Chains A and B, each alone.
Chain A
Amino acid sequence: MSEIEKHSYDVVVIGAGGAGLRAAIGAHEAGAKTAVVCKSLLGKAHTVMAEGGIAASMGNVWPEDNWQVHFRDTMRGGKMLNNWRMAQLHAQQAPDRVWELESWGALFDRTKEGKISQRDFGGHRYARLAHVGDRTGLEMIRTLQQRAVSLGIDVFMECTITELLKDDSAGRISGAFGYWRESGRFIAFEAPAVILATGGIGKSFKVTSNSWEYTGDGHALAMEAGAPLINMEFVQFHPTGMVWPPSVRGILVTESVRGDGGVLRNSEGKRFMFNYISDYFKAETADTEEEADRWYEDHVNNRRPPELLPRDEVARAINAEVKAGRGTPHGGVYLDIASRRSPEFIQKRLPSMYHQFKELADVDITKEAMEIGPTCHYVMGGVEVDADTQMSKVPGLYAVGEVSGGMHGANRLGGNSLGDLLVFGKLAGEHAATYVTGLPARPAVAEADVDAAGKAALAPFEREGGENPYTVQHDLQETMHNLVGIIRNADEITDALAKIEEFKDRVATLSVEGHRQYNPGWHLSIDLKNMLLVSEAIARAALDRKESRGGHTRDDYPASDPSWGEINVLCRLADGKAGVEVFHQPLPVMPDELKTLFDDGSH
Chain B
Amino acid sequence: MGYDLKMRVWRGDENGGDLVDFTVPVEEGEVVLDAIHRLQATQAGDLAVRWNCKAGKCGSCSAEINGRPRLMCMTRLSIFDPGDTITVTPMRTFPVIRDLVTDVSFNFEKAKQVPAFTPPEGLQPGEYRMAQVDVERSQEFRKCIECFMCQDVCHVIRDHEENKPAFAGPRFFIRYAELDMHPLDTVDRKEMLREEQGLGFCNITKCCTEVCPEHIKITDNAIIPMKERVVDVKFDPWTKFTRRRKSPEQSRTPAKGRLSTPDE
- Chain A positions near chain B (C-beta within 8 angstroms): 40-46, 48-49, 95-96, 99-100, 102-105, 107, 109-110, 113-117, 132-133, 135, 138-139, 142, 146-147, 149-150, 157, 182, 211-213, 244-248, 251-252, 352, 355-356, 359-361, 468-471, 474, 512-515, 517-522
Contacts and interface: CB of A to CB of B under 8 A. Distances in A.
B255 interface: no
Please indicate which of the listed interface residues A132, A469, A471, A520 has the most CB atoms of chain B within 10 Å of its own CB: A520
A146 B182 CA distance: 15
Interface in B3-49: 13, 27-31, 34, 40-42, 45-49
A123 to B, nearest CB: 24
A92 B223 CA distance: 42
Contact of A149 (B60, B97, B101, B111): B111
A182 B123 CA distance: 43
B27 A246 contact: yes
Given A40-B60, A182-B97, A48 B53 contact: yes
Please indicate which of the listed interface residues B53, B126, B258 has the most CB atoms of chain A within 10 Å of its own CB: B53
A520 B112 CA distance: 29
Contacts of B129: 113-115
Nearest to B132: A110
Interface string B94-120: 000111010010001001101011010
A518 B98 contact: yes
A99 to B, nearest CB: 4
Contacts of B128: 99, 102-103, 114, 116
Given A43-B146, A520-B40, A520-B47, A212 B52 contact: yes
A20 B244 CA distance: 34
Given A43-B146, A246-B29, A520-B45, A146 B55 contact: no
Given A150-B116, A514-B45, A518-B99, A352 B57 contact: yes
A48 B57 contact: yes
Q: How large is the interface on B (under 10, 10 to 19, 20 to 34, 35 or more residues)?
A: 35 or more
A142 B111 CA distance: 11
A111 to B, nearest CB: 8
B125 A96 contact: yes
B138 interface: yes
Contacts of A245: 27-30
12 contacts: A44-B52, A103-B125, A103-B128, A114-B258, A115-B129, A132-B142, A147-B116, A157-B108, A211-B51, A468-B41, A514-B46, A521-B45
Contact of A41 (B30, B48, B54, B104): B104
B145 A138 contact: yes
Please indicate which of the listed interface residues B42, B52, B130, B179 has the most CB atoms of chain A within 10 Å of its own CB: B52
B231 interface: no
A114 B130 contact: yes
B7 to A, nearest CB: 16
A230 to B, nearest CB: 28
Contacts of A107: 130, 135, 138-139, 142, 182
Please indicate which of the listed interface residues A113, A116, A248 has the most CB atoms of chain B within 10 Å of its own CB: A248
Given A41-B60, A99-B125, A469-B45, A518 B101 contact: yes
